[in-house]
Structure 1
């Protein structure tokens, strides 16, 4: 049968099947266990299939159209009772009869009437099975059945509606809206189509707002990184990243109070290491304007320092250099002065400061040299 040149085009979601005949589409469906309809392929690996047995039992009890119509009517009865799985199976049996390559049905008295009945039953079985799939949340199957319907009858408004509903459920919003609009071109007053079109439009607007917000956030993040990099370079602060950075949750080098203002100051996540006692303290935001002593004033006394070895006057501070050595960091100097233009580098965005009792300096330095040599 030639296609009506004035018939509406299939929605994009179904356009991929437009090049197939209804028979070819049925064969595609038949290769998927959920949609198997060809009686010659209906057996399972053991050669058993309830649908196959049912068709064979009925194939001599009427014409092909009459048998298919019988299954369709049983499907309608089950659908009325909202027994969607049962209804789906009956419609599948109806389609299997229509698609069967076997031809042992009674010969019709009127060939023209038989052809008309076959066409009506095929369209009705596909569109009704689409409803069952929709109710059972088999959304992709819904769109496939609707595609088959639109190949048979491009003006079937229910096919557009059920496709739009299934595509909406799959969050394929542009396609859902397109299917609804195409259906409304055929039936502008169709309330269900108007409703799904409105839902799709609302969802699309929501997705566009989400996308716009994400884009704005990405742009802000890009600008923040750019300004942060510029600030570090302007201050001549060395930084380096490794393949195994420490887990610091949301702690990182940042400009504060405004990450987008060049007037802001830098803050660094900082760990104070007490290597002689295997202890540490973490400072989430060490400002470039503060000194080590500023932090030691509220951290000391240390709760675990039973020997009272750690006081501001009795400790020295050290930092690693980029060449693998150590430098002594002035406790009273602003952090910026220690980091700027020196051999110290900030690794994985974390400043590391060793706090060592002065009387144990030699022991600490020897241990560090031995560790790096090994």
Structure 2
């Protein structure tokens, strides 16, 4: 059986061997007035004979004209991409003849769909194929092209339906059978992808519930007002999270240095780590002090950690000092500690410092 061709329908007497170079053939045809694709209005006005020859294109019956346009559209399509625009115009001209030949109208719409399929105009493909099938419900190529457009658009059920309808008409059609295999393969890929997505959502929800319960078990006083987040925005990936293996909370923590209006952000402060451990990492190297620490007084053994306390109406009331050897978990569970916007923040001040004395004094006596 001869392999099915899914380009535009060729006329019965079409012989590809007659012209080995479609582009040269079209160029030759375009030089003949009767077959010219386009002419300037001025040229036509100046040449009545040429205008008369061009008019002959429409002198036949609607059926004859439509068939001529179809054949010219086929020639353009076979010539390649640079002639697709002309092919579209010829098929459109044929459709506009409004001939009464339903089979021919079906072919014109189906062929125009073939061009738009190559151009990636999939919405137009589907509209033309639907119209082609109105004229001829047995147009296999219209089903094929519609199915291919749906496949590319990942409308898998619709694509399979098109293939099944085509195969009901021609069970051995190789082009349609091959397309259906591709669609079924893609269907399986999409189903597996969706399955993984749903599993991921379920796992994330489970982790979220476990995280919420773990925080609740810590009996932390939590307040959300977004004020801290506005000043110190934190990315979602740096929010508090639960270590899957140890079940320990990892907190986003800010160390604030009011003396220099600087801060450090620790993205995963393990709740069982002490403040001393982090201060040692950050300030323990005497050869690599903080760039803003001009006097080199910010060293682990010369720093105190504080947190602010709040009244019931949300006003800051006191500064409480935290022992450097205390774990973060212990501080967060302290009844006097208020966790603002799920981001623990601590003030770091040097010992025996004039700035520290003034800062604490101003804090205690502010109105």
- CA distance in 1 between counterparts of 2:329 and 2:58 reads 94
CA shift, 1:356, in A, is 0.6
- CA distance in 2 between counterparts of 1:280 and 1:127 reads 67
CA distance 1:221–1:368, change in 2 (3 Å): farther
- CA distance in 2 between counterparts of 1:233 and 1:207 reads 39
- CA distance in 2 between counterparts of 1:175 and 1:351 reads 53
Paired residues, what number?
301
CA distance 1:198–1:310, change in 2 (3 Å): same
- CA distance in 1 between counterparts of 2:132 and 2:326 reads 80
Which position in structure 1 is the counterpart of 2:41?
A: none
- The DSSP-based 3-state class of the residue aligned with 1:320 is strand
- The DSSP-based 3-state class of the residue aligned with 1:354 is strand
1:311 aligns with 2:309: no
CA shift, 1:344, in A, is 2.0
CA distance 1:130–1:298, change in 2 (3 Å): closer
The alignment yields a C-alpha RMSD, in angstroms, of 2.7
Q: TM-score, with normalisation over the residues of structure 2?
A: 0.75
Q: Which runs of 5+ in 1 are unaligned?
A: 1-49, 100-114
CA distance 1:198–1:369, change in 2 (3 Å): farther
- CA distance in 2 between counterparts of 1:349 and 1:60 reads 78
Which position in structure 1 is the counterpart of 2:240?
A: 253
Which position in structure 2 is the counterpart of 1:340?
A: 333
Q: Is the 8 A contact 1:85 1:136 kept in 2?
A: no
1:229 aligns with 2:212: yes
Q: Is the 8 A contact 1:58 1:67 kept in 2?
A: no
- CA distance in 2 between counterparts of 1:168 and 1:128 reads 19
1:320 aligns with 2:308: yes
Q: How does 1:1-374 map to 2 (within 5 A)?
A: 57-58=55-56, 61-82=59-80, 83-98=83-98, 115=100, 118-241=101-224, 242=226, 244=230, 246-248=233-235, 250-258=237-245, 264-301=247-284, 302-304=289-291, 305-322=293-310, 323=314, 324-325=316-317, 326-358=319-351, 359=353, 360-368=355-363
CA shift, 1:339, in A, is 0.8
Residues 305-352 of structure 1: CA distance to partner in whole angstroms, max 9, x if unpaired?
332322334322111234423322222211111110423233333221
- CA distance in 2 between counterparts of 1:344 and 1:298 reads 25
- The DSSP-based 3-state class of the residue aligned with 1:332 is coil
- The DSSP-based 3-state class of the residue aligned with 1:331 is coil
CA shift, 1:267, in A, is 1.5
Q: Is the 8 A contact 1:269 1:286 kept in 2?
A: yes
Q: TM-score, with normalisation over the residues of structure 1?
A: 0.73
- The DSSP-based 3-state class of the residue aligned with 2:324 is coil
Residues 117-167 of structure 1: CA distance to partner in whole angstroms, max 9, x if unpaired?
x22321221111111111121111111111011111111111110001111
Q: Is the 8 A contact 1:74 1:90 kept in 2?
A: yes
CA distance 1:298–1:173, change in 2 (3 Å): same
Greater mean alpha carbon deviation, residues 282-291 or residues 312-321:
312-321
CA distance 1:298–1:341, change in 2 (3 Å): closer
Q: Is the 8 A contact 1:133 1:141 kept in 2?
A: yes
Q: Which runs of 5+ in 2 are unaligned?
A: 1-43, 45-50
- The DSSP-based 3-state class of the residue aligned with 2:347 is strand
CA shift, 1:233, in A, is 0.8
- CA distance in 2 between counterparts of 1:314 and 1:204 reads 65
CA shift, 1:366, in A, is 4.1
